[in-house]
Structure 1
Amino acid sequence: MSHGTCRWCASRCWGAALMALLIVLAAGCAVAPPTSPTTPDAWVARQSTLARLTQWQADGRIGVVNGQDGWHASFQWAQQDPTYRIDIIGPLGQGRVTIQGDEREVSIQTQDGQRSTAPDPDLLLEQTLGLRLPVTGLRYWVRGLPAPGPTALLQTDAAGRLTRLEQNGWVIEYPSYAPSSVFNLDLPERIVARRMDLGVKLVIEQWTL
């Protein structure tokens, strides 16, 4: 075989190897598990079990991007239906912000002791601190459930876990889950929610059930 033929073969081999590498890299960049619209029974069973999970605490980190602005903080969310308490530690130099409420009313207390009350937690948080955060929906989305109200568009994996949810103008994705000791359920470990120019990322480091 001539040297020219060898170089041609080597070139083809390198090209094939490069193409294979690109395919592998592209597959590795997927942000969500494979979805399957053909597992309604698994989703129905999982949804019913998650709905019974009404007392829990999630600890982790939150990042919010609003247009050109952004902030990040730690959070502790304790839920005992119908009441909840959310401590956000460190946003915008506020120190600790505490949000407490139920289905009728919510209050926000800042580090300096100022307290405000209103029926709508999302609106109150924005008016008080300038923080846009979908508290009402996240109460359900954080467990991997759609919120009550308008019909949601769902995508699930083979185990019935949500991988993508569209509701109330929000798109929520679930890149990863972590196992829990209750009901033999995997619970969301990372959540990414987007609406127009607003993005919210949650990393849940610990579930307490």
Structure 2
Amino acid sequence: MSGCATPPVSSPAAQSAWAARQPMLAKLSHWRAVGRIGVINEQDGWHANFQWDQQGPTYRIDLIGPLGQGRVVVQGDAERVSIQTQDGQNWTAADADTLLEQSLGVRLPVKGLRYWVRGLPEPGATPVLEIDAEGRLIRLEQNGWIIDYPAYTPTTALDLPARIVARRSDLSVKLVIEQWNL
């Protein structure tokens, strides 16, 4: 067996569908996703309900623990991010991923998730893509993460991810999106 990984091969029709789909997904700059998140790292795991509101570069992510126990609000834009907990603790930094790790003990890829949640690779980093016949991502490998898309849901604009599983060596993040508002 060869030690080299080869990129998945898709049909020309799938590639054409992906090429047509990408600009439509990229135009979705104002959206809301509501659902559940589960995070498992080497030491432990947690789950919460979430609501993610994206308005261009500005976002707000509300994480609400089971039965309303605990709330964390992550707000940011291209320059700053802040976290506020239910007990009144506040942190601010330039990078959401680092701030979440310092304040909550878990490094979630917020910058990448902004794109991955819509079924797009993050700009800049070279991705490895696997797409289906409709031009939807089945698997994305980017920035040390493997992101699987086991389910999509139709919206008024186009099909968007309903389930996302993102993994790297020490962390697994599962998103179930129950509602999209565009």
How far apart are 1:132 and its partner, in Å?
Answer: 2.4
TM-aligned CA deviation for residue 36 of structure 1 = 5.9
Partner of 1:188: 161
> How many angstroms apart in 1 are the aligned matches of 2:24 and 2:107?
30
Partner residue, 2:104 = 129
In the alignment, the residues of structure 2 paired with residue 148 and residue 123 of structure 1 have an alpha-carbon distance, to the nearest angstrom, of 19
Aligned length: 172
The equivalent of 1:142 in structure 2 is 117
Asked if residue 55 in structure 1 is aligned to residue 30 in structure 2, the reply is: yes
Contact 1:164–1:173 (8 Å) recurs in 2: yes
2:134 maps to 159
What is the match of residue 203 of structure 1? 176
The one-letter amino acid paired with 1:134 is P
d(CA) in 1 for partners of 2:62, 2:116: 18
- Structure 2 CA distance for aligned equivalents of residues 195 and 56 of structure 1: 27
CA distance in 1, matches of 2:102, 2:92: 11
Q: Equivalent pairs: percent with the same residue?
A: 69
Q: CA deviation at 1:41?
A: 1.2
Deviations 1:130-187 (A, max 9, x none): 12211110000000000012110000000000000000000000000000012xx100
Q: Verify: 1:90 aligned to 2:65, yes or no.
A: yes
Structure 1 spans left out of the alignment, 5+ residues: 1-34
Partner of 2:179, secondary structure, is strand
1: CA distance between counterparts of 2:77 and 2:19? 27
**Which structure has greater strand proportion?**
2
SS in 2 for 1:145: coil
3-state DSSP of counterpart to 2:125:
coil
Q: Distance in 2 between matches of 1:113 and 1:94?
A: 14
Conserved in 2, the CA contact under 8 Å of 1:191 and 1:202? yes
SS of the equivalent of 2:79 reads coil
Task: Give, in whole Å, the separation in 2 of the partners of 1:97 and 1:180.
Answer: 28
Structure 1 runs of 4+ aligned residues shifted over 6 Å read none
Q: Is the 8 A contact 1:63 1:70 kept in 2?
A: yes
TM-score, length of structure 1 as denominator length: 0.79
Q: What secondary structure does 2:111 align onto?
A: helix
Q: Aligned equivalents of 1:207 and 1:89: distance in 2?
A: 18
Q: Name which one, 1 or 2, has greater alpha-carbon Rg.
A: 1
The structure that is helix-richer by fraction is: 1
Match for residue 171 of structure 1? 146
SS of equivalent to 1:113: coil
- Looking at structure 1, the residues matched to 76 and 69 of structure 2 have their Cα atoms a distance apart, in angstroms, of 20
Aligned to 2:10: 37
Give the Cα–Cα distance (whole angstroms) in 2 for the partners of residues 165 and 109 of structure 1.
Answer: 31
Q: How far, CA to CA, are the matches of 1:65 and 1:116 in structure 2?
A: 23
Q: How far is the alpha carbon of 1:122 from its aligned partner?
A: 0.6
State the AA in 2 paired with 1:46.
Answer: R
Q: Distance in 1 between matches of 2:134 and 2:152?
A: 11
